[in-house]
Structure 1
Amino acid sequence: MQMQRLIYGPLKAAARRGPVGSLAGHPFLIVIDGLDECEDKDEVEDLIDGMLAFFEENPFIPLRIFIASRVEQHIRSRLDVPGVRLDDLVDHCSDDDITAFLNVLFQDARRRNPVIQAYVREHGDWPTPSEKQKLVEHIGRSFIFASAVFKFIMGSNTSKTHPTTPHGSSSPDPQNES
């Protein structure tokens, strides 16, 4: 396994020669991002099992591993053990955070987009507070999903609607409609 050869082995060898922690004054940190995006679930499970076995055999090695990932079942089942701290960041996000995020995105779009400016002058706020609240409820405290939903609403150059016309809105100028 690559982790054994590249990380665990050298750390264990350094620990045998003296206190590894004194090299840095604090634990070493490895960050693994997007573990849930690995296609081979068996390899992910093997990686986690290998990490857990390493720490069980070497509890005093000054190494920490931070995994930033959606905690899918095959990951949770391996990490839900004593000595592992699972912290769901969705629990630390509130609807107010998502609302503030969407407000900034929509304000920026309104400032930059003349079609939205014309729509707001003619029809009032866009999206309305109740529409924004529905979005927040649907998004479910995920900034990634909030960003994806916003990008979808704003459209793209490959969509059939005019690229500056928000999805679900009528163009203020009928001549601009596709």
Structure 2
Amino acid sequence: MISLSLVAMMLLVMLLSGCREDVSFQLDRVTEVKVERGTTYKEVAGEKYIENNFSVCHLRVYAVNYLDYGIKVGPKITVNIHGVEHIFSIDSWGDDWEYLVAGKKGEEYKQKLCFKNEALNPMSCAELADAIKNKAYKLELNRCEKIDQSATSCNVGVSVVQGGINFRAITTDEVDIILSAD
């Protein structure tokens, strides 16, 4: 006869293995890129207005694939700033997905991903960093599949990196140097 404690232990093992993360995303840095262009005038529907300098927020995220095979993921991150949802999608080769390499058994292989604001709604990048610190974000996958496009399990975990989110403001002159080196 199987004892009650053995059954409980088996259920616990099944429960814990079912909660295993297949992929984790760690939000790391908000980078504000200040686009320095001269003030220009545009005419829209007969009205003239001044177009001022602006900045763009980039969100750096590290992804870790714990599966023993590579997968395609299409993550979107929604951040709520003062009641307005800002959606960030992966800044990839024109696609909405990125390929995550399989890690070696027992090793963690982090891949750096860059996210950009989809709608380019005006926002303060410092407020974006604060909203992430306050956990006002969620991550959704619109795609998770093997390289042959067959479906796969993607139990996802999302968090802020250990030590907290960083904020950095740069100018357009520094973009190529900073974003590629970081």
Higher relative contact order (CA 8 A, sep 6+): 2
**Radius of gyration: which is bigger?**
1
Query: Higher strand fraction: Structure 1 or Structure 2?
Result: 2
TM-score with structure 2 setting the length: 0.21
TM-score with structure 1 setting the length: 0.21
Query: Higher helix fraction: Structure 1 or Structure 2?
Result: 1
